[in-house]
Structure 1
């Protein structure tokens, strides 16, 4: 066993169950590794203003949000990469032409192409999003992340370029939703920026994830775990597999490293 210094945890499907609760074993595991001196980061596609209640309940103060576009180490900004305006304008056009909906995240708001659409309402309800409003050009310079909704697998390709791919949201009932992931801005890149800042070797890191937006993070960390409930294509990128989110996946993974 190596010496581990940092733990990166995805949220939905990794520590947060479908019923929006966190298993007691997960809380226990996080607490135990923190007591051993590890820095714990939440690493999520969610906007950070929507994860603070979860973080507070776990006493976590470091974050990677918006799939890597914003990273904070104990409230100190490490990464801040907004999405170029030309990409946003192109996406708004595609969405309008094809009947898709979008949520465009700023540092403090979730802005939607429509608030009343059933798919948008379902998305807001599932993730219990609070700071919601209609998108306007006033925030176009401030967009850190995008999720497109009501999109078929075929239509997802409309948004993809050499530098951008779409990652299916790994949640039952929301498979028509996709996160926009940039090759140069993702959880893996943010992890590297954090490690550079803290002067920590990748061998000294652990990560857990379940979605394709975790792919890069699992590739760049030392002890990487795909959850038992992970997207079928994710397992090839992780060095280890653990049990599912509702069967002590994080606890069992950390136990296998003799950390608990």
Structure 2
């Protein structure tokens, strides 16, 4: 199979635990692009969380916010915000447990509690700016994803609380909240349709629980060696650790670089 496009998760895939891109990954992406293969970021992060990284790699196409906001060569091609009534339901339900929320739009993000230690711990782990305070941000802006800050033993409070929402844990004190049928795969399909590329002509790299659908929808799904154990069964191939040439070895396995 000749692959035409490659999708890359960020955390644990393009970047390591220090949120740095390994030099061999930078060189591999450059070689991939020089061979005419589209390189696309596919992440749960919002665009403002990864702009410097995208610029460093020379990538201007991305599937962001777990498939909710998709951009090709700098231009938005797909938007799928959470229905406002569902955000409102989440706000009301989380208030019962004093769980902090962070509302993510396409250009900015705000929280309803800037002092919450769970929120500070999780957002600081991304090594990005902290959100401003605006508990009403969701009322006037499209929200594509919400961070819900709690620990795993509180997850069951939300399972059936707001119809139409799903929850994916990405940190010990944080979960992504998005539409129940949303995923990176949805955003990837939108881009593939635009480019007239078949799913089997695409590959994807990931390491987290929000990468399951993405690895399944493409022709070759590659899990990093440092992946969550529950992701690995969804992969066609398991490469090495992000700091041990994971991207390089995966692209070589796909015969996309030398």
Provide, for residues 199-257 of structure 1, a one-character-per-residue CA deviation record: whole Å limited to 9, x for no partner: 00111111000111111111101111111111111112111111111211111111112
Matched, 1:167 2:164: no
Partner residue of 1:228? 225
The answer (yes or no) to whether the contact 2:118–2:173 under 8 Å persists in 1 is: no
Q: Which runs of 5+ in 1 are unaligned?
A: none
Is the partner of 2:242 in helix, strand or coil?
coil
The answer (yes or no) to whether the contact 1:72–1:78 under 8 Å persists in 2 is: yes
The answer (yes or no) to whether the contact 1:181–1:213 under 8 Å persists in 2 is: no
Matched, 1:199 2:196: yes
TM-score (norm 1): 0.92
Change over 3 Å in CA distance of 1:238–1:163 after alignment to 2: farther
Partner residue of 1:214? 211
Matches within 5 A, 1:1-260: 2-130=1-129, 132-140=131-139, 141-156=141-156, 158-160=158-160, 163-169=164-170, 174-260=171-257
Aligned-pair Cα RMSD in Å: 1.7
Change over 3 Å in CA distance of 1:139–1:182 after alignment to 2: closer
TM-score (norm 2): 0.93
Is the partner of 1:27 in helix, strand or coil?
helix
Q: CA separation in 2, counterparts of 1:122 and 1:12?
A: 16
Provide, for residues 98-133 of structure 1, a one-character-per-residue CA deviation record: whole Å limited to 9, x for no partner: 132221101121211211111222223211222621
Q: Which runs of 5+ in 2 are unaligned?
A: none
